[in-house]
Structure 1
Amino acid sequence: MSVKILVAGSPATAPEYSLSGLFTKIATLHKKVNFNLCIVLGDLFPAIDATQPDPTSAAEQQLDDLLSGKINISVPTYFGIGNHSLPKKLQEKVDRSNGEVCENLFFWGRKSIMTTSEGVRIVAFGGKWDGGLIGGGTKDGDEGTEPSSSLGFYSEADIKGGFGAHTKPVDILITSEFPEGIDAGSRIPITEEVKDAMEGRQRKVLAELATRLRPRYHFTTGGLGFWEREPYMNPAENNKEPTPTRFLAIASQNNPSKAKALYAFNFNPAEPPAHPASFTPIPYISSARGKKRPNPDSSTSFRWSTDDNQQHSHRNKHRKNEPRPPPGPDSCFFCLSYPRLEKHLITSIGTEAYVTTAKGPLPLPSDTLPFPAHVLIIPLSHTPLLSLITPEDSCKSTQQELRSYKSAIEKMLKEKYNHNAITFEVGRARGVHAHWQLVPLPSSITPEQIYECFQKEVRTDDLGSIQEVEETEENMYEEGYNGDFFRWWVGGQEGKRWEVRLEEGKYFDLQFGRRVCAELLGVKGRTHWKDCAQSYDDEVKDAEGFKEAFKEYDFSL
Structure 2
Amino acid sequence: MASKIVVIGAVNGRLTDVFAKLTTLHAKQNFTFCIIAGDLFANPDTATQANQEDLAKLLRGDIIVPFTTYFAIGRQKLPAEVIDVLEENHGELCPNLSVLGRKSSMKTSEGFRIVAVGGAHSSITDEAGVSQYASVYTDGDAQAAGKGFASADILVTSDWPAHVQDGAKNRYTTTLPPSTDSIAELCVSLKPRYHFSASNSHYEREPFFHNGPVARLITRFISLAPFGNAAKEKWIYAFSLEPSAEPSLTLPTGCTASPFNTGKKRKLESQESDFNSFRFANGATDHYQPDYRRQKRPRNQAPLTPQQCYFCLGNNDREAHMIGSIGTEVYLTIAKGPLSTRQTYPDLGFPGHMLLILMDHHPTMSAIGEPGVRQSTVTEMQRYRNALQSMLAEKSKGEDGRAKLGAVTWEISRYSGVHLHWQFLPVPVDMIQKGLVEAGFDVEAENSNYPKFAKTFKEMEEIEEGNFFKVMIWSEGMRKEMVMPLDGDFRFDLQFGRRVMGKLLGLADRTHWKDCGQTTEEETVDAKAFREAFEKFEPSEESEPDADPAIAGAV
State TM-score, norm by structure 1: 0.49
